[in-house]
Structure 1
Amino acid sequence: MNSELMEKSLLGTMMEENYLVLDSGIQTAFFEKQLHKNIYLTMKELANNGRPIDFITLLTTREPAELGGANYVSELRRFANPARFDEYLEMVITKWKKREMERILQQAQVEQWELNDVFKELEKLDTDYTSDDSLLLDEILVAQYERPFIEASDMTGISTGLQPMDYLLNGFQDSEFIVIAARPSMGKTDTLNHLALTAGWNNHLPIVFSLEMSRKSMTERLISAAGGYSRLKMRDPYKHFDNTQKDTWMTALEHLQSAKIRIDDRSGIKVSQIKATARKIIREQPDKRPIIFVDYLQIIRPEETTNNQNQAIGQISSDLKTMAKEFNCPVVVLSQLSRAVEQRQDKQPMMSDLRDSGNIEQDADVVCFLYREDYYDQESELKNHLEITVAKHRNGPVGGFTVYYNKDNGRLSSIR
């Protein structure tokens, strides 16, 4: 795609999503076409004044001819693509760097610069679009002054609702990329639902991307967990529910609704599309602490088509980690384990079982494995028990524990 089309897409997207004008870090210099510089400057002026950015406000703030005319401004909306905004912005920045590099080298040749001066100017290209303020520790250090003298809260992260897990992790921390991995039928989706419900009931903002299961199926599972209803009976509540269960039905629905869970059930979406949707939801709920859930990693579509599955999963894993840092919130992702587990006598998962790429292990801040003994051993005494092992914890201890798992309704709870 050429520069003009990408720039049009950025401008069109900012007309739809006005907050991107100030939040995306775009600079006027990034635009190659002067017309687009004029349009962006006008958008920025409107945004700084707290005014909406649309066809009318743009044309009444500046002479239409300076913006390419009414038709040109109107057509920008056709190029809007929020899902690919970050990708196009990165490409526009890359092209800007290339233009700047050529300008610097040409100027250095004409003015006969010293070699060190040339290198210094070229190095600036990587920092020219980053605020110096963001690199300073001053504000963070000021916030640290009183820490030894003020009692800290018991939980700094978002609670998992499982006491032993909270003890190890202190909840899910901001900017962390958490992987929960298991073989099929271990309870991954029920675990995700439990974590999302717990976050919502604690007044956080759970955003679920369900690439495998439809929103309707996810909702059925969530109702079952929220109300404690058997999923088998949920197939026909009219026929199978007793009077007590029917009497609690509305209460269960209201309880689930209070969690305010957002579910995007598009299949085969890319990380860039996940980011675009999450960014919009987070922007609409600035007073809530977000937590993003993805089910599951191996079916996220890579940004670029490739025949190398390991490379594709590695890039997706890296992008999810970047997203956690960018949004400063926990990103909890389910992952499949390789079939190698089934071929061993000991079925307990290991780090080497993470499927398709060692990048997952490298990128993740936390890796948890799920295991049910009664799945492999029907005679096991540990019925309805789910073993959770924190196998990697970048910022704290590791360890394992067992929780109660009701497979009938999908509920998880600590064993007292």
Structure 2
Amino acid sequence: MSETTLDTRTVPHDMDAEMAALGGMLLTPSAAADVAELLNAADFYRPAHQTIYRAAAALMDRGDPVDAISVNAELDKLGEINRVGGAPYLHTLAASIPTAANAAYYARIVADKALLRRLVETGTRVAQIGYTGEGEAAALVEDAQAEMMAITSGAEPEEDAFFRSFMPQVVAGIEDRANADTNLVGLPTGLNDLDELTRGFRPGQLITVGARPSLGKSTLALDMVRAASVNAEDPAPAAFFSLEMGRNELGERLLSAQARVAFTRIQAGTVDDADWARMAEAMPRINAAPVAVRDDVNDLRIIRSVCRRMKATTGLRLVVVDYLQLVETGERSENRQQDVSAVSGALKAMAKELGVTVIALSQLNRGPESRDDKKPRMSELRESGSIEQDSDMVILLHRDDFYDQESVRAGEADLFVVKHRNGPTATLTAAFQGHYARFMDMARG
């Protein structure tokens, strides 16, 4: 005997929270970025709110401002403005939130309600599978498990996932590179040999720079930022997360490298008039550089949030994390290897999501010190084998004179490009000018 019941309960939703989240998006760029990070159109219960969110998201994707006026114009262009309540309703949304700073809080309420709705819908389908009983019981359980997993997997393909939607962009990119005046197709690295090998660091790439402590990986990363964001004709907006070194010391190193003033003199305060003149000449370019330095963040979730907000507001093309093993996931875990794997995977995902280059610095274990030549190997990336899997490029830094002060290669550094997903591997040599806290191209000839 079967029993049929009719459930008249309203599915989970919070209309006030939906209005407040959308209202926050219309008030400030940072609130719009926060909401966009947490929600997609399908998370809204009211169809009109889904339409308004899509219009705001389309403006953000194009880099246009998001406010009541611009969203009204976008909806009008799409022929949707009257269906959502017109311009007055957009202004009602903007007035529905006490302060834009609370937008993320309301967005999380909307996201929770959307998840509960999906749970209700999936539970109904799973119950139907059980009631029909068509097929082997084990297979039905497997189908039910797949339904439950799909609640948060986002497995359904979007229209723009198919080749036909993005191959024109691929061809356009090839044409742009063929017609370019330079061999670079990505961000400059600051070293000509590395530029020739890589053709620049590209959006979506995770570049891992590994070395033993004190060999200069932070200096190398700062040189890459100088090349892409300080000295480039089109400076790339960048975020530098310095988890080990304070931003004042980072600034001193940058000034030493840029102005060619001995780092030890800057630290000791023994600079002379000529030093002051060179620093004064260097400061305008440094101050104009679109580089944000954060030495107060080590939580992965906050790093991602800061980057997403920068991408939506000021633009973002380059992210440096110094260094990977110091990033916390915010999850309780007794296995540090799993934590580091989660961090490297998340940084690669962020690079793809935001279309930025991520340079992650990584410690190496003590393996090099047990060998006579001290040269590093990719397997010695500390605490995770996932780093080499997630990375598009792995560069290992080595300086012979660090281990042997009498070395005939004093002042030289080896950059072992041991993984290069888009090209060949190689061993490159650069000059290490430790007194100026920088790496340079080797003199030719």
TM-score range for the pair, normalised by the shorter chain length: 0.7 to 0.9
Aligned partner letter, 2:204: S
Moved more, 314-323 or 93-102: 93-102
1:100 and 1:180, CA in 2 relative to 1: closer, same or farther beyond 3 A? same
Letter matched to residue 273 of structure 1? I
TM superposition shift of 1:410: 1.0
The 3 A distance-change label for structure 1 pair 47 and 335 is closer
Alignment-derived partner of residue 321 in structure 2: 294
Other-structure match for 2:262:
230
- What is the alpha-carbon distance in structure 2 between the residues aligned to residue 368 and residue 305 of structure 1? 31
**Deviation string, structure 1 residues 12-71 (Cα, Å, up to 9, x no partner):** 975653434895584454357x7xx887766667778976369xx99x94499x98xx8x
Q: Report the CA distance shift for 1:258/1:352 in structure 2 as closer, same or farther (over 3 A).
A: same
2:286 maps to amino acid: L
Pair 24,375 (structure 1): closer, same or farther in 2 beyond 3 Å: closer
Change (3 A) 1:106 1:53: farther
1:173 matched to which residue of 2? Answer: 202
| Offset at residue 336 of structure 1 (A) | 0.5
Q: Deviation at 1:110? A: 6.9
> Which stretch of the first structure deviates more once superposed, 336-345 or 308-317?
336-345
Matches within 5 A, 1:45-64: 52=67, 61-62=88-89
Secondary structure of the structure 2 residue equivalent to 1:80: helix
Within 2, Cα distance between the matches of 1:124 and 1:308?
A: 28
Number of residue pairs matched? 398
- 1:306-363 per-residue CA deviation (whole Å, 9 max, x = no partner) reads 1210111111111011011101121001000112322333311111211001111111
Give the Å deviation of 1:396: 1.1
- The question of 1:80 aligning with 2:113 is answered no
Residue pairs, 1:11-410, within 5 angstroms: 14=25, 17-20=30-33, 23-24=36-37, 26-27=39-40, 29-31=42-44, 52=67, 61-62=88-89, 73-74=97-98, 77-78=101-102, 80=104, 95-106=116-127, 122=147, 131-141=158-168, 143-144=170-171, 147=175, 150-152=178-180, 153-200=182-229, 201-202=231-232, 203=234, 204-237=236-269, 240-270=270-300, 272-286=301-315, 290-410=317-437
Deviation at 1:278, TM superposition (A): 1.3
Question: What is the CA–CA distance in structure 2 between the aligned matches of 1:387 and 1:166, rounded to whole Å?
Answer: 15
SS in 2 for 1:74: coil
How far apart are residue 413 of structure 1 and its match? Answer: 1.1
- AA paired with 2:67? P
After superposition, give the CA deviation of every residue in 1:138-175 in whole Å (9 maximum; x if it has no partner).
Answer: 44246527749954541111111211111221111211
Greater CA deviation, 254-263 or 179-188?
A: 254-263
Taking the aligned partners of 2:192 and 2:13, their CA distance within structure 1 comes to 52
- Name the CA shift for 1:246/1:317 in 2 (closer, same or farther; >3 Å): same
TM-score by length of 1: 0.80
Structure 1 Cα separation of the partners of residues 193 and 112 of structure 2: 45
Q: Deviations over 1:244-264 (max 9, x none)?
A: 222222111113224332211
1:337–1:353: 8 Å Cα contact kept in structure 2?
Answer: yes
CA distance in 2 between partners of 1:190 and 1:362 (Å) = 25
Partners of 2:396 and 2:109 lie apart in 1 by 36
Partner of 2:320, secondary structure, is strand
Q: 1:254, 1:22 → 2: CA distance?
A: 35
Task: Report the AA paired with residue 278 of structure 2.
Answer: T
3-state SS, counterpart of residue 19 of structure 1:
helix
Deviation at 1:211, TM superposition (A): 1.2
In 2, distance between residues paired with 1:177 and 1:48? 27
Stretch moving more, 45-54 or 320-329: 45-54
CA distance in 1, matches of 2:143, 2:416: 49
**CA distance, structure 1, for counterparts of residue 97 and residue 176 of structure 2:** 56
How many Å separate the matches in 1 of 2:154 and 2:424?
Answer: 36
Change in 2 beyond 3 A, CA 1:89/1:350: farther
Q: Could you tell me whether the CA contact under 8 Å between 2:430 and 2:440 is conserved in 1?
A: yes
Q: CA offset at residue 78 of structure 1? A: 4.2
1:50-106, Cα deviation, whole Å (9 max, x unpaired): 76369xx99x94499x98xx8x84388547369xx8x99987765554333213234
- State the TM-score, normalizing by the size of structure 2: 0.75
Greater displacement, 129-138 / 222-231:
129-138
Change (3 A) 1:158 1:77: closer
2 CA distance for matches of 1:284 and 1:114? 53
Q: 2 CA distance for matches of 1:175 and 1:10?
A: 29
Query: Structure 1 stretch 135-144 or stretch 360-369: which is displaced more?
Result: 135-144
Q: CA 1:147/1:40 → structure 2, altered by over 3 Å: closer, same or farther?
A: closer
Identical pairs, percent: 26
Q: Distance in 2 between matches of 1:388 and 1:379?
A: 21
Please say if residues 297 and 334 of structure 1, whose CA atoms lie closer than 8 Å, have aligned partners that are also in contact: yes
**CA deviations over 1:224-252 (Å, ceiling 9, x no partner):** 11101111111244xx3233222222111
- Whichever residue aligns with residue 212 of structure 1, its letter is E
How far, CA to CA, are the matches of 2:177 and 2:352 in structure 1? 29
